Structure 1
Amino acid sequence: MELAQSVDKSPFMVEIVEQLKKLNRLGKSLYVAVGIHEPSSRSQRVKNTLVYLDESGSILQRYQKLHLFDVEIKDGPILKESRAVEPGTEIVPPFNTPAGKLGLGICYDLRFPELALRLRTMGAQILTYPAAWTVKTGPHFQLLGKSTAVLTQSYVILPSQKGRHTTQTKQEIARDGLQSNRESFGHTCIIDPNGTILAQCSDVGQEETLCVADIDLQRLATIRQNMPLWNQRRPDIFGYKV
């Protein structure tokens, strides 16, 4: 909570905006989605936010995480994201990007198919879920990504933090020293509408890695045409249409 700052005052975001502007001046356009924590005006908690910036550094979209990671395991860890994070209250409609129409989620949102299904109904071609996934549930990460891609017939992009880091406050660091008390799973990947991993980052060592893949919207359209799932849904039976 101590590190949460508004976008215009965050040194992290200011640096990203400056780099985007610099690339743009060199004729190299880059659009980025960035996960940040913002202060909330409604409570003492922070907002877990995903912002999407264009090549000039302007924020085009902002999404606040809907589903919070609250897990209490008997004789095990207790993780309560809701203690420090304020849940979002709305879905951001998919929006146009150079790669296609993009729908936004964050980390734990991946476990709730309603969001992905609604985004697909709203026109999404690509879904992204930036994550700091736990190692203990690591095997679920790409499995959920693949199933989401197949269920929605969409590309799924899973940027994922890796390595060890701390969840300590400044006071705890001052008292106990810096401790790497949390490890994230990594395994960043890009998945096609058939559930095939097109590209994946190496998770050997602590170095930052990058993966890229082509987004083929014509292939996506063909997949959806050949198996028209959205024309075959049964809201008359289930009582609602996601």
Structure 2
Amino acid sequence: MTQPLLSAVQLSSFKTPTENLALLERLLKQLPEQRPQLVVVPEAFSCFGAGDKAQLEMAEPMGEGPVQQRLSELAKQHQVYLVGGTIPLQAGERFAAASLCYGPDGQCLARYDKIHLFDVDVPDNTRQYRESKWTRPGGSIVTIDLGFAVVGMAVCYDLRFPELFKALRAKGADIILLPSAFTEVTGAAHWHPLVRARAIEQQVYMLAPNQYGEAANGRRTYGHSMIVDPWGEVVAEQADGEGIVSAYFDKEKLAHIRAQMPVAEQTRLTVSANVNEDV
């Protein structure tokens, strides 16, 4: 097998899924030719600029709807593993922020619902974020074996909870995905150190695409989509603007780092794989 490629898509979402799917379709034409390739787009890519209430109204049933159908088609068209950041899926009175992974055959291979919800106050023009008002938190830790690597799934605010990443490593993760919409204020303060720390701690590749710029609903996001290797080095990054950054997944480097510093075998503390009850 040729060396797999990891790619992070950076964009600033419009209000409607139709606009954002057209944007994604245009950006995916810029993908490098290397296959196999794992491509991840940011959190809430399909309707971030519309606001949380609008996302609830746009939520699709699992396995149906134009956004899921188009993600499947794009994965098959480009012959890549495509992770659609998150999209809103129906979940009763709230929606689930679901990260869906599609294979090169167009099949949905995995679903991860964001576990940790962004209920915080931030000194920016939005000021108060209350994701739990509209979003139902997930209850499962998800990994998927793509053949060339085991991939763990996380989303944005999950980054601040290292126990999730330790649990993903314990389930065999070699790469952890982090589609995000990190705010400009929190991103400038914490994005780089936290993404690098999770890579170093768990000795994994971090594939972290982020929204950038100011969305139509006034939310300002940090950009700086990046790929970090298991030694904590930033091997690819896009500070601002839309585009794609890519880097090779080096399994030999991963194995060497883990052999030289076998922290997973030396740990004396275990983390439960159970998720707290719904909030």
- Superposition TM-score tier, normalisation by shorter sequence: 0.7 to 0.9
The list of structure 1 runs, each at least 4 consecutive aligned residues, that deviate by more than 3 angstroms after superposition, is 72-76
Bigger shift: 65-74 or 138-147? 65-74
1:174 maps to what in 2? none
1:221 is aligned, of 252, 255, 265, to 255
Residue 89 (structure 1) aligned with residue 139 (structure 2):
yes
1:62 maps to what in 2? 111
Q: CA deviation at 1:37?
A: 0.8
CA distance in 1, matches of 2:75, 2:109: 14
1:233 maps to what in 2? 267
Contact 2:76 2:103 in 1 (8 A): no
1:37 maps to what in 2? 88
Residue 14 (structure 1) aligned with residue 77 (structure 2):
no
Structure 2 residue runs without a partner (length 5+): 1-55, 273-279
Contact 1:202 1:209 in 2 (8 A): no
Residue 106 (structure 1) aligned with residue 155 (structure 2):
yes
CA distance in 1, matches of 2:170, 2:234: 23
Q: Return closer, same or farther for 1:9/1:143 CA change in 2, 3 Å cut-off.
A: same
Instruction: Provide the secondary structure at the position in 2 that maps to 1:2.
Output: helix
CA distance in 2, matches of 1:99, 1:11: 30
| Corresponding letter in the other structure for 1:220 | L
2:228 maps to what in 1? 191
Q: CA deviation at 1:182?
A: 1.0
Residues 58-207 of structure 1 aligned to structure 2 (within 5 Å)? 58-72=107-121, 77-92=127-142, 94-139=143-188, 140-167=190-217, 181-203=218-240, 206=241
Q: CA deviation at 1:5?
A: 1.4
Q: How many correspondences in the alignment?
A: 214
Instruction: Provide the secondary structure at the position in 2 that maps to 1:189.
Output: strand
Q: Return closer, same or farther for 1:73/1:33 CA change in 2, 3 Å cut-off.
A: closer
Contact 2:71 2:102 in 1 (8 A): no
Instruction: Provide the secondary structure at the position in 2 that maps to 1:51.
Output: strand
Bigger shift: 67-76 or 50-59? 67-76
Identify which of structures 1 and 2 has the higher relative contact order when contacts are C-alpha pairs closer than 8 Å and 6+ apart: 2
Q: CA deviation at 1:16?
A: 2.3
| Corresponding letter in the other structure for 1:82 | S
1:212 is aligned, of 219, 241, 246, to 246
CA distance in 1, matches of 2:104, 2:222: 30
| Corresponding letter in the other structure for 1:194 | W
TM-score (norm 1): 0.83
Q: CA deviation at 1:186?
A: 1.1
Query: What is the identity percentage for the equivalent residue pairs of Structure 1 and Structure 2?
Result: 34
1:3 maps to what in 2? 58
Contact 2:71 2:82 in 1 (8 A): no
TM-score (norm 2): 0.72
Rg (Cα) greater in structure: 1
Contact 1:138 1:185 in 2 (8 A): yes
Q: CA deviation at 1:147?
A: 0.2
| Corresponding letter in the other structure for 1:156 | M
